[in-house]
Amino acid sequence: MAVADLVLLTPRTPADTAVPEVAPSLGLLPHTVTARPMDVGPLATGVEPDLVVVDAVTDLVAARGTVRSLETVGLSCPVLVVVSVDGLSVIDERWPMDDLVLCTAGPAEISARVRLLLARPRPGAPGTQGAAEDGAEPETIRVADVVVDEASWSVRAGGVPLDLTFKEFELLRYLVQRPGRVVTRDILLQEVWGLDYYGGTRTVDVHIRRLRAKLGPERESLIGTIRGVGYRFSGPRGDES
């Protein structure tokens, strides 16, 4: 496993004692973990880490504000939120993050999540331009007035660009590529998060809620819920260009 530079943002003081309290298993991995106060300013002006980990165990309100701030500073690295079981109920579309993990997760699970986050290309990052599924040429997919551009890793709805995380982009792209088809939560988890992802299907539900919120009230119904099964993106498929 390649050693990565991780930054843990935490309200605990002193910050450098937070790792054993927030995510004990994280400290067992070979990665370099630097704990810092919940100030995103140094991240915006300094050297960007490979991954930002946000402590939502200690203070949920502060953590939510932090992930929102991270979204505004234009970081290209992924964001992983660590949360307790009790905190899961408040995680929703207002949390712009790439993944979440329980604070009680073991080293194998956290290692897998970190590895998958680090392995996935970021929209606009070097090497992502022109990337497409299975090595095919990138395409522009239009369903209703939602346009997914694989070449630029961007999405427009009604001509307005959507600010999506990488996971949100991949999830929406997978659904839009299959208009009218019901896709189970298990399939979405496998195809978007990977075979060795240890999390449950609740992760899919959280990301769907966030996608609907970003699509807005006029288009949130394009992603339909098939109760007990999964989700379906509905709408007429337009010409690809």
Q: Which amino acid is at 76?
A: S
Confidence (pLDDT) at 195: 65
pLDDT of 64-91, one tens digit each?
999 989 888 777 789 999 999 999 888 8
Same-domain pairing of 203 and 225: yes
What residues make up the domain containing 228? 133-233
**Residue 120: Cβ within 10 Å count:** 18
Whole-model pTM over 0.85:
no
Q: Which amino acid is at 83?
A: V
Confidence (pLDDT) at 241: 42
Same-domain pairing of 103 and 138: no
Asked whether residue 128 is assigned to any structural domain, the reply reads no
- Choose the final residue of a domain: 119, 143, 159: 119
Asked whether residue 239 is assigned to any structural domain, the reply reads no
- Choose the final residue of a domain: 64, 95, 119: 119
Distance CA 229, CA 204 (A): 12
Distance CA 162, CA 232 (A): 20
Asked whether residue 103 is assigned to any structural domain, the reply reads yes
Confidence (pLDDT) at 43: 85
Asked whether residue 166 is assigned to any structural domain, the reply reads yes
User: In whole numbers, what is the pLDDT of the chain averaged over residues?
Assistant: 84
Tokens representing residue 38 in the block: 């919940």
pLDDT of 198-216, one tens digit each?
667 888 998 999 999 999 9
Same-domain pairing of 47 and 78: yes
> In what helix (H) or strand (E) does residue 35 lie, and over which residues does it extend?
strand 32-36
Same-domain pairing of 67 and 157: no
Q: Which residues pair with 143 in a beta bridge?
A: 146, 237
Tokens representing residue 240 in the block: 């690809």
Low-confidence ranges of the chain (pLDDT < 50): 124-134, 240-241
Largest Cα separation within the chain, whole Å, is 56
Asked whether residue 240 is assigned to any structural domain, the reply reads no
Q: What is the CATH number of the domain that holds 22?
A: 3.40.50.2300
Helices 202-215 and 166-176 cross at an angle (nearest 10°) of 90
Same-domain pairing of 140 and 65: no
Same-domain pairing of 160 and 63: no
Distance CA 139, CA 6 (A): 34
Query: Please, which contacts does 169-172 make with residues 24 or more away whose CB atoms are closer than 8 Å?
Result: 169/123, 170/120, 171/204, 171/207, 171/208, 171/211, 172/146, 172/148, 172/211, 172/233
Q: What is the CATH number of the domain that holds 166?
A: 1.10.10.10
Distance CA 16, CA 8 (A): 9
Same-domain pairing of 56 and 110: yes
Q: Which amino acid is at 170?
A: E
For the chain, how are helix, strand and coil distributed in percent, rounded to 5? Answer: 35, 20, 45
Asked whether residue 124 is assigned to any structural domain, the reply reads no
Region label for 180, one of left (φ > 0), alpha (ψ between -120 and 50) or beta (otherwise): left
Same-domain pairing of 67 and 171: no
How many structural domains does the chain have?
A: 2
Same-domain pairing of 182 and 210: yes
Same-domain pairing of 38 and 141: no
Same-domain pairing of 106 and 16: yes
